DNA sequence: GCCTGCATGCTACAGATGTAGTAGTAACTG
DNA sequence: CAGTTACTACTACATCTGTAGCATGCAGGC
């Protein structure tokens, strides 16, 4: 009852920045800019997004000299889990099983994926409601 | 190259309306309003959302008497697939396997889910790339 | 000491989203 | 026929998102 409860929701652009931050956590805006180079974003855009993430509590900011240093506060695991939950709610009636069924039906599973799914089935301990 | 290519992206509110539409497809705005009763939305809100969906091509509208009748154009399967793809891109580096791994780690399967998934795995023919 | 460069804190602004309200009109109801 | 309903087309408007620009200040080089 502690973790993914108050996870902030991230927009697409914010996900891009968070991925960069997670890539190496105490980092500067300049670092992030480099990591998201292909986005073509301006430095100030990265800055704005980082600020919004700070506002949301997803990253922490502190000063080192006159430079802001950012550090992830939201854990990648939690963000992912939250994103999955959100998808589950809006598109799969909240049912994890419905999602799996959909995946198995529509996604092309590689042999590796199939094996992984199988393992998921075999390993997961029986549910005790 | 026909199906989920040009699938429009749905917002959360739009998902809610689409779910109602899929529930019984040629239907009126009033029908939708009833189906989403718990949302507490005003009739005009539903109307606006339906209009936006029409604009996006997700539903078709035609007149019967002086009443608009809406019909899903976007298939539920395609919408779901698109939503999954989108999640994959932003949170799992586009890797289906990464999503599975995450699911295996964090989500719980009910016995029913397990059975269903197992059946799908057994049934689905081996992939040939 | 002054210029150049990089950092910072604001401000901006269009388009998307959530959530309606209003005005005009067609239809049912006594 | 007049009032009450119900439907439609438009308009509204605060936020959120994507994507920056600007004014300013400190720090190092010449």
What does the pLDDT average to over A68-80? 96
Instruction: Give the closest-approach CA distance of B110 to chain A in angstroms.
Output: 6
Say if CB B121 and CB A114 are below 8 A apart. yes
What does the pLDDT average to over B7-21? 97
Q: In this predicted model, which residue has the larger pLDDT, B10 or B1?
A: B10
Residue nearest to nucleotide C22 (CA to C1'): B44
Of A16, A87, A101, the CB nearest to B116: A101
CA of B7 and C1' of C24: distance in angstroms? 36
A92 with B114: Cβ contact below 8 A? no
Residue B90 CB coordination number (10 Å): 21
Q: Which residues in chain A are closer than 8 Å to B15, comparing Cβ atoms? A: 90-91
C-alpha dist (Å) from residue B36 to A18, B20, B72, B91: 34, 7, 16, 30
Helix (H) and strand (E) counts in chain A: 6, 3
Of A15, A97, A117, the CB nearest to B100: A117
The Cα A129–Cα A126 span in angstroms is 10
User: What phi and psi, each to the nearest 5 degrees, are found at residue B60?
Assistant: -105, 150
The Cα A117–Cα A109 span in angstroms is 9
> What residue in A sits closest to B78 (Cα-Cα)?
A106
A114, pLDDT greater than 70 = yes
B15 with A91: Cβ contact below 8 A? yes
Domains of chain B plus CATH, in order, are 4-72 (1.10.10.10)
B113 with A100: Cβ contact below 8 A? yes
3 state DSSP class of A68: strand
The Cα B39–Cα A67 span in angstroms is 46
Identify the pLDDT of residue B126: 54
CA of B65 and C1' of D1: distance in angstroms? 24
A123, pLDDT greater than 80 = no
C-alpha dist (Å) from residue B80 to A100, B10, B117: 12, 10, 18
Q: In this predicted model, which residue has the larger pLDDT, A121 or A72?
A: A72
The Cα B105–Cα A99 span in angstroms is 15
Say if CB B111 and CB A124 are below 8 A apart. no
Report which of B116, B112, B103, B120 is spatially closest to residue A129, judged by C-alpha positions.
B112
Identify the pLDDT of residue A119: 78
Report which of B81, B56, B9, B106 is spatially closest to residue A99, judged by C-alpha positions.
B81
Identify the pLDDT of residue A1: 44
What does the pLDDT average to over B57-79? 94
pLDDT, tens only, A21-71 = 999 989 999 999 999 999 999 999 999 999 999 999 999 999 988 899 999
The Cα B121–Cα B119 span in angstroms is 5
Identify the pLDDT of residue A25: 86
CA of B56 and C1' of D10: distance in angstroms? 19
Q: Which residues in chain B are closer than 8 Å to A104, comparing Cβ atoms? A: 117, 120-121, 124
A5, pLDDT greater than 60 = no
Instruction: Give the closest-approach CA distance of B66 to chain A in angstroms.
Output: 32
Say if CB B90 and CB A87 are below 8 A apart. no
Identify the pLDDT of residue B46: 97
pLDDT, tens only, B21-46 = 999 989 999 999 999 999 999 999 99
Instruction: Give the closest-approach CA distance of A65 to chain B in angstroms.
Output: 33
CA of A80 and C1' of D24: distance in angstroms? 39
Q: Give the count of Cβ contacts less than 8 A between chain A and B.
A: 122
pLDDT, tens only, A103-112 = 878 767 777 7
C-alpha dist (Å) from residue B82 to A53, A95, A100: 26, 17, 15
Residue A62 CB coordination number (10 Å): 9
Say if CB A60 and CB A53 are below 8 A apart. no
Centroid of chain to Cα B4: 12
Out of A38-42, B2-6, B52-56, B76-80, which region has the weakest mean confidence (pLDDT)?
A: B2-6
The Cα B104–Cα B82 span in angstroms is 22
What does the pLDDT average to over A80-85? 95
Instruction: Give the closest-approach CA distance of A128 to chain B in angstroms.
Output: 9
What does the pLDDT average to over B73-84? 96
What does the pLDDT average to over B61-87? 94
């Amino acid at each position: 009852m502690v973790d993914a409860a108050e996870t902030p929701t991230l927009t697409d652009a914010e996900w891009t920045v968070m991925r960069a931050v997670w890539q190496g956590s105490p980092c500067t805006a300049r670092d992030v800019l480099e990591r998201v180079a292909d986005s073509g974003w301006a430095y100030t855009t990265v800055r704005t997004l980082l600020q919004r993430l700070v506002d949301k509590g997803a990253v922490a900011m502190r000063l080192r000299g006159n430079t802001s240093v950012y550090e992830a506060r939201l854990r990648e695991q939690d963000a992912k889990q939250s994103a999955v939950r959100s998808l589950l709610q809006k598109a799969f009636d909240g049912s994890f099983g419905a999602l799996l069924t959909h995946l198995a039906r529509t996604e092309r599973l590689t042999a590796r994926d199939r094996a992984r799914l199988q393992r998921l089935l075999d390993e997961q301990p029986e549910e005790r409601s």
